[in-house]
Amino acid sequence: MEKQFTIQNPFGLQPSPARHIAQAAKTFPSSVSLEINGKRYDAKSLVQVLSADAKYGDIVTVSANDGMAAIAIVDTIGDLLTSVQPGAYQP
């Protein structure tokens, strides 16, 4: 299962959303990856997610394999990538 999402947070993929992505990915038994600007990152690793240095407007491909559970984790991470939480991030 693979889907593309566009980062909607004006501050990009900062520590708080990155932490939520890694936590969500860890609940999935198989591998979950993010592909950003042609590079692949392990979504279960907070360090790797942060090192992607994804910015507002970047397109992220989220991939997971394992049937129906893959659809759920890809959609969950997609929701985190496309959500904007007013006041949650300070420049």
Q: What is the pLDDT of residues 79-88, one digit of tens each?
A: 999 988 654 4
Q: What is the pLDDT of residue 84?
A: 80
Please tell me the pTM assigned to this model.
0.88
CA 71 to chain centre: 14
CA 31 to chain centre: 13
Which residues, 6+ apart, have CB-to-CB distance to 23 below 8 Å?
A: none
Q: What is the pLDDT of residue 87?
A: 47
Q: What is the pLDDT of residues 31-77, one digit of tens each?
A: 999 999 999 999 999 999 999 999 999 999 999 998 889 999 999 99
pLDDT category at 90 given cuts 50, 70, 90 is very low
